[in-house]
Each structure stands twice: as C-alpha cells, then as structure tokens.
C-alpha cells in the first residue's frame, strides 16, 4: 500500500470488540498502513478478549505509533454509554487523528460523534464507518431493529463515507436504513499472499473442524447436532475439533454432553486459524448470520474443503458454486453436506483457492481503503 499523497495520515481505528473478523480486519489495516508510512492507533474495549487476543495485540502494538488505548465498552446500549463516549473523546483527542475509521455499531457511534465534535473545534477529521454486519443483523420488524436503524440514519449526518465489506452488507443497509446520504464504497476483505498456501494436516487430524466465536449467531449448536446426524448417516466414527471462545461456550459444552459426543469432540480455546486448519480435514461454518467472514476466505485460500451456510456475503465468495451452500438453521441439510464433502477431491478446493486470489487480496483492500480516506479528506 503506497501512500498516494505526500502527507502521512494519522489514522485511529475505533471498535468495541477485539476478537474475530473485525479484529483481524483492523490488524491487517494496521500492518498495511504502517508499511505505507502512516501513523496508526487503536481505541477498543478493555473487557473483551483473552490470552489469544493478548498475543495478537503484542504483535501489532510496536506498529501503533499513536498508541493502543483500551477502555470498558459494554455491548448493550445503556446510560453508561454517555460516560464511555466522554472517555473515548478524551483518548482520541490525545491521538489527534486525521482519519477516524470506525468498525461495528458501537465503535461507529462513538467515533462519528467524536469526529463531529472535533470538527466543531476546527479540527477536520475524516469519519469513515464500516458496519461489519453489526446492526444489519437485526430485523426491521423488531423494536430493537427499528431503533438501531433510526440511529444509523441519524449518524449518516456525521459520516463522511460508509465502507461495506460485501454486497450483502451494502444491500442490507439500503433496505433497512435507506439509500445512504453520504458517499459509500464496497471494499472486500483481503488476504495476505502467504495465506494462499495449503496447510498440512497433523497425523491425528479429525474429519471436521469448527472454529469461531462461541455464540448462537455463529451456529456452533447447529454444528454439534449435524455432527451427531452425520455419524448416524454414515455409520462412521466421525470426529471433530471444536475451537473458540465466547459468551455461550459453557452452553455448548453441556450440549456436547447431552448429545453424547464427548468421545468424538475435542474442545480447544481460541487459536490462530491456520494452526487450527491442521487439526481438521473439513471446515464447517454453520453461521446464522455473517457479513464477509474471514474464516471462509482463509479456509478457501488454504485449499480446505468447506461446508458453509448461505448467509451474508458467503455466496459472493462462491459465486460460481452456489449449490455447495446450505440454508442456515437446517441441521439435516448441513449433515448431508458434511457427508458429501467427505468425498470431495483436492482439485475442487484448489480451483476455489485460485479463483479467490484476484478478488480478495490485502493489497486490493488496503489500496481501496486509502482511496476512501483521501476522498473523504
């Protein structure tokens, strides 16, 4: 990512939860923007994450010339958000950004308000917002959904540019919030070149692998039920690794016991995706909702066979093979697909990896993001 102007930008990424796809997205941008000569900082939640995330922060913290600042940010909307906003304002004010790049609904709210307040003080700050799904997962028919979409519409007045990571996310915004009244860009998530390398399996690799957040939105319960059905359908002692952390993990550990799967499911805490890929032959992504999941991109680039649901931006990844995706929340069809992929050949997954390379590269993503910054300034 080469700078397209002579000025080094001061860029602050603001988001709530330093886990999962959003955190991966920000880490990639930190690396690319630092390499391009810009000064970068992060403001995020201090309550989320664990040992795995601490390790990831230690890798990027030396690149953060503007600093890493963490304060408590609650997921739910509460009156305490007013005090959190004030604390965020003070922290961001110290970093003196030219660009505030907000990720996710809570980060998007804080950053856009703070960027607007900076403008009232005479400091021009470009305010960019990427939903990463966020509020777009809510239904317009629910009270919470209607409230969130009204807030999103209001915050457009404080937004210089919207950035969508998938056509699905962009279309959902248009449908639920309305046609944006500010500029918008569609910029796909991107992978590093070294991620387009197959991962060798360990000798003890299982047939299936679930890796992701342990929350209902990602469908780990669907995976466990489908694994049980696939074992019955094939009559084989199919096994799986079950990897991740999250608020509902204890519930899924109980479900493993209830389904009598404890002898065939090995549970792990969160770990890097490519390390996990060595543990299982087939990646299963049973999500109920997504935007543009890095996990699917990473697995496909690594030439891993994959079973995934037809949600969010996933069909955009497999635009030439829509038939391989299954509807969400359907245990029976997911189990059938898991059984079918057991027989999938290597040539099919290698072709998918090659098709991915041109559309989902880190170079393309970071260049598009920088163009969005400069247009907003």
- Label each residue of the chain as H, E or C: CCCCCCCCCEEEEEECCCCHHHHHHHHHHHHHHHHCCCEEEEEEECCCCCHHHHHHHHHHHHHCCCEEEEECCCCCCCCCHHHHHHHHHHHHHHHCCCEEEEECHHHHHHHHHHHHHHHHCCCCCEEEEECCCHHHHCCCCCHHHHHHHHHHHHHHHHCCEEEECCHHHHHHHHHHCCCCCCCEEECCCCECHHHCCCCCCCCCCEEEEEECCCCHHHCHHHHHHHHHHHHHHHCCCCCEEEECCCCCHHHHHHHHHHCCCCCCEEEECCCCHHHHHCCEEEEEECCCCCCCCHHHHHHHHCCCCEEEECCCCHHHHCCCCHHHCECCCCHHHHHHHHHHHCCCCHHHHHHHHHHHHCCCEHHHHHHHHHHHHHHHC
Handedness of CA 67, 214, 304, 366 (dihedral sign): negative
For the domain bounded by 194-357, which CATH number is listed? 3.40.50.2000
- CATH number (3.40.50.2000, 3.30.1330.10, 1.10.3720.10, 3.60.15.10) of 10-190+361-376 reads 3.40.50.2000
Q: Where are the CATH 3.40.50.2000 domain residues in the chain?
A: 10-190+361-376, 194-357
Q: What is the pLDDT of residue 4?
A: 47
Alpha-carbon dihedral 79, 81, 86, 90, rounded to 10 degrees: 160
pTM (two decimals): 0.89
Q: What is the pLDDT of residue 293?
A: 94
Find tokens 């449908």 and name the residue: 175
pLDDT of the chain, 377 residues: tens digit per residue: 444 455 799 999 999 999 889 999 999 999 999 999 999 999 999 999 889 999 999 999 999 999 999 999 998 888 999 999 999 999 999 999 999 999 999 999 999 999 999 999 899 999 999 999 888 888 889 998 999 999 999 999 999 999 999 999 999 999 999 999 999 999 999 999 999 999 999 999 999 999 999 999 999 999 999 999 999 999 999 999 999 998 899 999 999 999 999 999 999 999 999 999 999 999 999 999 998 999 999 999 999 999 999 999 999 999 989 999 999 999 999 999 999 999 877 778 888 998 898 889 999 999 999 999 999 99
> Around Cβ 217, how many Cβ atoms within 10 Å?
16
> Around Cβ 80, how many Cβ atoms within 10 Å?
12
Q: What is the pLDDT of residue 76?
A: 84
Q: What is the pLDDT of residue 6?
A: 56
Residues 6+ apart with CB under 8 A from 140: 146, 149, 175, 176
Burial (CB count within 10 angstroms: exposed 0-12, middle 13-18, buried 19+), residue 159? buried
Q: What is the pLDDT of residue 314?
A: 97
Distance of alpha carbon 331 from alpha carbon 112, whole angstroms: 41
Distance of alpha carbon 98 from alpha carbon 95, whole angstroms: 9
């Amino acid at each position: 990512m080469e700078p397209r102007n002579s000025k080094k930008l001061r860029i602050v990424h603001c988001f709530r939860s330093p886990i999962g796809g959003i955190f991966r997205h920000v880490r990639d941008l930190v690396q690319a923007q630092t390499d391009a000569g810009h000064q970068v900082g992060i403001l995020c939640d201090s309550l989320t994450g664990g040992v795995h995330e601490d390790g990831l922060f230690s890798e990027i913290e030396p690149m953060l010339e503007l600093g890493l600042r963490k304060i408590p940010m609650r997921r739910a909307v509460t009156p305490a958000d007013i005090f959190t906003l004030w604390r965020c304002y003070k922290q961001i004010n110290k970093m003196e950004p030219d660009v505030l790049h907000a990720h996710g609904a809570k980060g998007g709210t804080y950053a856009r308000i703070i960027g607007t307040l900076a403008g009232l003080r005479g400091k021009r700050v470009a305010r960019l917002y990427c939903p990463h799904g966020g509020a777009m997962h809510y239904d317009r028919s629910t009270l919470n959904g209607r409230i969130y979409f009204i807030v999103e519409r209001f915050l457009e007045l404080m937004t210089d540019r919207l950035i969508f990571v998938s056509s699905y996310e962009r279309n959902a915004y248009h449908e639920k919030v309305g046609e944006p009244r500010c500029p918008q860009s569609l910029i796909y998530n991107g992978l590093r070149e070294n991620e387009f390398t197959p991962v060798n399996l360990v000798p003890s690799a299982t047939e299936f692998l679930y890796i992701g957040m342990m929350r209902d939105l990602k469908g780990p319960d669907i995976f466990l039920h489908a694994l049980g059905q696939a074992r019955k359908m094939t009559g084989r002692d199919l096994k799986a690794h079950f990897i991740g952390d999250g608020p509902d993990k204890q519930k899924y550990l109980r479900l493993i016991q209830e389904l009598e799967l404890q002898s065939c499911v090995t549970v792990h805490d969160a770990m890097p995706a490519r390390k996990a890929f060595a543990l299982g032959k087939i990646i299963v992504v049973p999500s109920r909702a997504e935007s543009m999941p890095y996990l699917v991109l990473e697995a496909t680039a690594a030439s891993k066979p994959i079973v995934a649901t037809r949600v969010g931006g996933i069909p955009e990844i497999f635009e030439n093979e829509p038939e391989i995706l299954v509807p969400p929340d359907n245990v029976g069809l997911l189990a059938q697909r898991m059984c079918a992929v057991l027989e999938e050949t290597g040539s099919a997954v290698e072709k998918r990896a090659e098709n991915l390379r041109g559309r989902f590269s880190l170079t393309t993503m970071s260049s598009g993001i920088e163009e969005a910054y400069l247009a907003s300034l």
